Amino acid sequence: MWRKLLKIINQLVTTLLTITLLITLFLVISSKITGKDANLFGYQIKTVLSGSMEPEMETGSIIFIETEGDTTQFQENDVITFLTEENTTVTHRITEVIEGGEQYMTKGDANEAVDPQPVFAENIVGTYTGISIPYAGYVLSFATSKQGAALLLIVPGILLLINSFIIIWRVVQYVQNDKQKNIKEVNL
């Protein structure tokens, strides 16, 4: 019974390590190649760096932004991600639609005042999908750093190699034990 449980745990750990390795590899390589946040099936993954949209989006969360669509069709209360004049990315709620959707006034849910500058439609990156994963942004930020990429790519890789060596060693031990058993049976 314990062997079956250990085998199931071993397979689960191996699967999780492989998935972690592949996801990390994809996120790191795609963000390094494009110089932008990872884009997966038309959705960008963004890390929440401030508390301006709390409690809906906690600091350190990751959020999914739909990047495809018409940037002039937003309405009041839609949550959009946009580039500021300083070329930083901000996610805030629309408080007012100006000039038929060419400009928007925005505000963070936790902020007391409306943002001072209107957002032009061409500066909108996408719209918030409503999906937020708390604390995962800390992991993603670490993963895209040089140290994090090395750690999150190398450690699962090493653990998978160790697991492979253990499996090979067990197979070799099994074959050797089987040979010795057969030799004893022949000698009797």
**Residues annotated as catalytic (active site), given as ranges:** 50
**How far apart, in whole angstroms, are the C-alpha atoms of residue 116 and residue 127?**
20
Q: In what order do the strands lie in the sheet with 89-98?
A: 39-40, 43-47, 62-66, 124-133, 79-83, 89-98, 103-107, 119-120
Angle of CA points 148, 156, 35, to nearest 5°: 40
Q: How many CA atoms lie within 13 Å of 188's alpha carbon, on the beta-carbon side? A: 6
Angle of CA points 115, 117, 122, to nearest 5°: 115
